[in-house]
A and B are shown apart, each in its own frame.
Chain A
Amino acid sequence: AQKITQTQPGMFVQEKEAVTLDCTYDTSDPSYGLFWYKQPSSGEMIFLIYQGSYDQQNATEGRYSLNFQKARKSANLVISASQLGDSAMYFCAILGHTDKLIFGTGTRLQVFP
């Protein structure tokens, strides 16, 4: 079975600062993918970034980067230069051999001026 753990129910960050959202995972699959999604209050799920388990380099997408530490089974999301529009729920998810995307409990990020 696969499991995602997000231990931060809520995070605050000041505008223009960087913030790290934690994610740890558990899986017995030798090959897997890790994802981060953003869910604003409207409910839509917005794909942010992906990291494959065999990728040597940490993934980056604009202001988003993924701090992947395979040995520690962690895949933290780093958002640089936070903006007010970054306020939302953030979900970490894992995809393994079952082809099912399993989500963590989420972290609510609030960016203040």
Chain B
Amino acid sequence: GAVVSQHPSRVICKSGTSVKIECRSLDFQATTMFWYRQFPKQSLMLMATSNEGSKATYEQGVEKDKFLINHASLTLSTLTVTSAHPEDSSFYICSARDQGAGTPEAFFGQGTRLTVV
């Protein structure tokens, strides 16, 4: 199947700093990528849809100024958590579908475990 690579896998940052998470589709182009957040023992909650060459669309309740999304190329989307606080500590994971292959499944990155201290 298609490969989505996410980096870093783990990050610890100080409160008030910003953290950038990268999501790359390695063997296909993705005009759309999706960012999810998962708290411990909970489900994946969709945060936003990243659109190549245009603004991301955010789900209700997600602060767009706090979670900046950039999708500058067909293989890369980035999520920046700005002015991070301990409550932003969570597991962030991206996904994309290989629409060129015509298969419906979404492929996920490895996820990023963010800890804000």
User: Are B43 and A101 neighbours in the complex by a CB distance under 8 Å?
Assistant: no
| A43 at interface, CB cutoff 8 A | yes
**CB < 8 Å: which of A43, A50, A105, A106 contacts B105?**
A50
User: Are B43 and A91 neighbours in the complex by a CB distance under 8 Å?
Assistant: yes
| B113 at interface, CB cutoff 8 A | yes
Q: Which residue of B lies closest to A105 (CB)?
A: B43
B42, B46, B104 interface centre (most CB from chain A within 10 Å): B104
Chain B, 57-116, CB within 8 A of any chain A CB: 91, 93, 95, 104-108, 110-111, 113
Q: Which residue of B lies closest to A45 (CB)?
A: B108
Q: How far is the CB of B62 from chain A (nearest CB, A)?
A: 13
Given contacts A91-B44, A102-B46, A106-B43, contact A35 B113 (CB under 8 A): no
User: Are B43 and A43 neighbours in the complex by a CB distance under 8 Å?
Assistant: no
User: Are B43 and A35 neighbours in the complex by a CB distance under 8 Å?
Assistant: no
Given contacts A35-B105, A99-B32, contact A47 B42 (CB under 8 A): no
Residues on the B chain within 8 Å of A43, using CB: 38, 91, 93, 110-111, 113
User: Are B104 and A95 neighbours in the complex by a CB distance under 8 Å?
Assistant: yes
- Chain A interface, number of residues (Cβ within 8 angstroms): 20
Residues on the A chain within 8 Å of B91, using CB: 43
What are 17 pairs between A and B in contact, CB < 8 Å? A35-B105, A43-B110, A45-B93, A45-B95, A47-B105, A47-B106, A47-B107, A52-B104, A91-B44, A95-B104, A99-B32, A99-B49, A100-B34, A103-B43, A103-B44, A105-B43, A106-B43
Known: A47-B107, A91-B44, A101-B106. 6 other contacts (CB 8 A): A35-B104, A45-B111, A95-B104, A99-B49, A101-B95, A105-B43
Q: Which residues of B contact A (CB under 8 A)?
A: 1, 32, 34, 38, 42-46, 49, 91, 93, 95, 104-108, 110-111, 113
Q: Which residues of A contact B (CB under 8 A)?
A: 33, 35, 37, 42-45, 47, 50, 52, 91, 95, 99-106
